[in-house]
Structure 1
Amino acid sequence: MTSRAGRTTIVDVARAAGTSVSSASVALRGEPGVSAQTRERILAAARRLGYRPDRQASLLRRREPRVLGVTFSVEQTFHGDLVENLYRAADASGYDLVLSAKTAGRPESRAVDNLLRDRCGPLILIAPELPRDALAQLAARTPVVTIGSDSPAEGVDSVHSDDRQGVTDAVAHLVGLGHRRIAYVDGGTAVMSATRSDAYVRTMREHGLDEHVRVISAAPTEESGIEVATGLLDGDDPLPTAILAHNDLIAVGLLLTLRSRGVRVPDDVSVVGYDDTRTAALATVRLTSVSQDAAELARRAVERATTRGDDPAQQIVTPARLVVRDTTAPPGR
């Protein structure tokens, strides 16, 4: 069957080949993004139907920018690192980015809606908090890739670092230095908070430190780190000799507060963060932290967003790496 006026369109080709229109378009333009088998099926259907591309429509498409939509949180330093690397990766693939921020007064759903209204192509969502069913519904409309979440949704590609290994390595580093009273400050409702907290508890138990397991509830902000440090200093219990934080923001809040109250870091208390942000590497901070490798996460996310085609969604896990700096040392040094 052909479209009106007897002219075969790309919709007819896609229907005959049993693929999506976007896959048919990719194959007919000779671009990467579909499997060899799918490409041949589409080309065979085009030949059989006598398909000829609409030159005017083709010209209009070429004028359209190749754009990826990205959501991120303005409150999270690591998201800024990711966005910078996403620009690099997108540029290398011939794409540009449109950013839509999540803020205290601008929920993630609105950030996504704005990208859809701007008619962006695939979407890359950094640490999304949308429910799985909402992500799946979104993926039915446009390709979706998440960064920094290990909670997969149907049809959604996921790219994240091995957070369990990252936390395991951080705890092992502290144990190797001689620490036993190692506390963990979690990220509250933040994405990956439960994963990292569970990894801490498991690793402490594997090292025979069950009696020293201590998870402190917090939020993924510097202010929360300040509050936790103040509570520890003003409390009746002895200070832990080491503290591992959900992210660098919390760790910096802890670090600055401890130092301002006369606690020597790392001599009295060692501090470890997570994300290895630019702040962690500052000469005045020199924070030991777990790196997620923002450049690799961005590269893999852009790769999936721009070349997935009809491939099934994937969950891609990249290595985490402990970066040791000046905020960890043996206890009571």
Structure 2
Amino acid sequence: MSLQEIKNNIEFDKLNLNEIKEVASSIINENTKSLKDELEELLLQKEHIERNLEKKSHELQEAKYKIFDELEALIDKDDTHSLSKLHQAKLQLIDLFDLLSETVESAIITALEKSKDSEANEIIEEVIKELTYETIKEGTLNTIRVRKILSTILHSSINIAEASPNISEEILEATLKGMRAGLLQSIDRFKKRLVYMPLEAKHILIEDYDTIMEDLNQSDTLFLQVVQTQANESDLSTRKILIELNNKMHYDLEELIHVSKETAQVMRERFSSLAKKAVKKADTALHSEAAKEAKRMGIQAWGVAKTALGSAIKSAKSVIEPKE
């Protein structure tokens, strides 16, 4: 039914809410059918693309593993120096986030099995530092992501520590020190990149400007919260160790705080004016057609509520003040 037909055949003042809703729904369905069909087709395509992306991403990872295995086979097993450099390159080129938990557990177990007792702690600290740094620097520096990375690393370490009660404190302490060092290195790298980042790349930061600034100003709190949360979820003995280590870490985070504040200052100096422009853009968006429609619908909703309230008051008055 066209709008003209509705105009000629329907008397809106005689329709109730459900009838008006049915009329509106009928017109919407009739006039938007092709758009709905297109949308459904696009959603199917999106689902197909996402499945392919996941599949290809997995294939890419597998291809990287295979290449590194082949490269490793070319190096003499006794050439530990070259193998070490290859493994470092692998850490930097493989996407770690998806297999972080397994990587951490494997690294700690290997350190415990193949190192002397006196060396194991230092090696665990170093490998956790490297894993923390490489994983964080793969993506954006925001609280949710960093918290998840740190939590995953610590949780994996806790699993090993609880299976090794005689050295659990050493494992956890080395892990926390490595996490702290890796986080510090990540923030320091971010600071150095900010200094030389061309203004053309400003869009990378502007969208998350306020969030990143806030995160940088509480990096120490984030670290301590991760430890506390994991402690709360662990068994009694592990919780006790983590809480004691966490209390000690309060005094070992000065450098992290210092670098974080330096980074925030660099970011403020380089990009605050750009952030102000972003605010202006947001203000412009408030006057866009979509924003105007949202405002109009808000006013309409207020009108509906006002009318309903007015009717309710009128009904109440008619009950309280019956006609004589």
TM range (shorter): under 0.3
Higher-strand-fraction structure: 1
Give the alignment's TM-score, normalised by structure 2.
Answer: 0.23
Higher-helix-fraction structure: 2
Larger RCO, structures 1/2 (Cα 8 Å, 6+ apart)? 1
